[in-house]
Amino acid sequence: MSKEYLCRAVDRSFIEKARFRFTNSVDLPVTPDQAFEILADVDSWPHWVTIIKKATWTSPGPPGVGTMRTVHMTGGIVGNEEFLAWEPGVGMAFRFNSCSTSSVAAFAEDYRIEPTPSGCNLTWTLAMAPAGVSRVAVMLVQPIMNLSFRRFLTNLSKYAAERYPAPAQRPAT
């Protein structure tokens, strides 16, 4: 069992004002509900976020605000998350309550889904407050981190197309 370090209990406002923020978007060839299903499916995350090895729900379902999840990542890093927002077809947000590394003071992510004529657009914002000397490391590698995050969204688009091969259908208005 790895050591657990508490992270600062941030709310969604942290995602908008954190010093280290990464925001990227991708058009997905699926409906907003299908995009949300992918995000809500813990087994889908390793398919598109290559640093995630496994994710598991750690609180009773159904998932929603306050639900807990544990994510196991490359390098033995484990994050214990709590969901701050949960709106099917619209988006979700979560924060780390604790992490297996002391280099994370605070961490949160926000996923927002907007319908488009050909499916939907997903905007992902990752916000963090590194601790100690990791602040310098993050400053130096920000461009590389952002390239990785964009690659994850490219992976997500491919995964969504494979999971839901039929073109996204927009309801008639």
Give the pLDDT band (50/70/90) at residue 167: low
Alpha carbon separation from 103 to 15, 64, 100, 136 (Å, rounded): 18, 28, 9, 11
Burial degree of 163 (CB within 10 A; 0-12, 13-18, 19+): middle
- Looking at residue 76, the DSSP 8-state letter turns out to be G
CB 28 within 8 A of CB 160: yes
- pLDDT, tens digit (0-9, with 9 covering 90-100), for 17-26: 999 999 999 9
Query: Is the model's pLDDT at 134 over the cut of 90?
Result: no
Can the peptide bond before residue 130 be classed as cis, meaning omega within 30 degrees of 0? Answer: no
- pLDDT, tens digit (0-9, with 9 covering 90-100), for 18-50: 999 999 999 999 999 999 999 999 999 999 999
pLDDT at 20: 96
Q: What is the pTM of this model?
A: 0.92
Give the pLDDT band (50/70/90) at residue 171: low
So where are the chain's domains?
Answer: 5-163
Query: Is the model's pLDDT at 173 over the cut of 60?
Result: no
User: For the chain, first and last CA: distance in Å?
Assistant: 54
CB 47 within 8 A of CB 159: yes
d(CA 31, CA 72): 28
pLDDT at 135: 80
CB 29 within 8 A of CB 160: yes
- pLDDT, tens digit (0-9, with 9 covering 90-100), for 100-130: 999 999 999 999 999 999 999 999 999 999 9
CB 93 within 8 A of CB 14: no
pLDDT at 61: 84
CATH code that applies to domain 5-163: 3.30.530.20
